[in-house]
């Protein structure tokens, strides 16, 4: 069964399809992390991932409830069982302890849910290479900020926002473009709240680099939601263009 992952139910289908195959001696923590392509990561990473998965379940259910012309009772039937399976209170217990709550039939129903949402809630998928390059930009800028001599308070703020962006890129596989939108909105809110700090340092390499990263993220979000990105004038208003003497973005 070919299922599009351009919507919340499709992403949930893909993750659970991987999860139900991981039985045997796998701990619940390792199974969840492996299903998300996160082979390394400890307890903190596990709980962060579990929170994002819970949000994905809520999003898929909410969007399905708002979808007309489907049999809601049938389409929503797996969700209570999915929540039970993901209510992991013993990360070191075997995954089978929790996976018994869901069946392949539940995952099959999710495939039909994904088909329904692909007609009403589909987003354009962001290319893996684009996300990889954005992550490299974020990581590279974080290193430069760490080594810089900018105002210490601004440095802490920038590093915090760059970590937030890095996490959002990491979580895109789970929650799609909505996770990137959350991170972008949080960054813009932080800039607005700390505008004097950013305004004073708007000509520094670090703040220009941050503006450039936000604009690139905004463009990717615009492509995903099929809308013209409005991020550039907002960023320019608060902290400048982000250009380094050229016309690139």
> What angle, 0 to 180 degrees and rounded to 10, lies between the N-to-C axes of helices 104-118 and 43-65?
60
pLDDT in tens, 74-90: 999 999 999 999 999 99
What are the residues facing 27 on neighbouring strands?
94
What number is the average pLDDT over the span 104-126? 95
pLDDT in tens, 137-185: 999 999 999 999 999 999 999 999 999 999 999 999 999 999 999 999 9
Q: Name the pTM for this structure.
A: 0.88
What are the residues facing 94 on neighbouring strands?
27
CA angle 76, 121, 175 (to 5 degrees): 80
**Mean of the per-residue pLDDT values for the chain?**
90
Domain spans in the chain, listed from the N-terminal domain onward? 8-118, 128-239
Residue 235: band (very low, low, confident or very high) from pLDDT cuts 50, 70, 90? low
The pLDDT of residue 109 is above 50 = yes
pLDDT score at 174: 96
Cα–Cα distance, 170 to 82 (Å, whole number): 23
Copy the structure tokens of residue 215.
Answer: 């604009």
Cα dihedral: 16, 18, 19, 25 (round 10): 170
The pLDDT of residue 54 is above 70 = yes
Copy the structure tokens of residue 228.
Answer: 């013209």
What does R_g of the chain's alpha carbons equal in angstroms? 20
pLDDT score at 245: 43
């Amino acid at each position: 069964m070919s299922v599009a992952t351009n919507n919340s139910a499709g992403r949930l289908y893909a993750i659970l399809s991987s999860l139900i195959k991981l039985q045997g001696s796998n701990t619940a923590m390792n199974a969840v992390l492996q299903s998300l392509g996160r082979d390394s990561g400890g307890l903190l990473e596990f709980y962060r991932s579990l929170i994002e998965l819970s949000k994905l379940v809520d999003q898929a259910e909410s969007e399905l409830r708002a979808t007309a012309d489907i049999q809601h009772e049938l389409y929503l039937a797996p969700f209570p069982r999915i929540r039970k399976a993901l209510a992991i209170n013993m990360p070191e217990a075997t995954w089978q302890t929790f996976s018994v709550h869901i069946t392949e039939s539940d995952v099959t129903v999710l495939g039909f849910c994904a088909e329904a949402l692909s007609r009403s809630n589909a987003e354009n998928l962001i290319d893996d290479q684009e996300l990889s390059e954005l992550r490299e930009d974020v990581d590279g800028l974080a290193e430069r900020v760490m080594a810089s001599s900018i105002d210490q308070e601004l440095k802490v703020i920038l590093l915090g926002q760059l970590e937030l962006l890095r996490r959002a890129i990491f979580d895109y596989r789970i929650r799609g473009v909505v996770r990137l939108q959350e991170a972008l909105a949080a960054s813009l809110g932080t800039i607005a709240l700390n505008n004097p700090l950013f305004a004073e340092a708007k000509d520094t390499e670090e703040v220009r680099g941050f503006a450039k990263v936000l604009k690139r993220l905004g463009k990717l979000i615009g492509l995903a939601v099929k809308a013209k990105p409005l991020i550039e004038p907002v960023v320019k208003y608060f902290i400048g263009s982000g250009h380094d003497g050229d016309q690139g973005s």
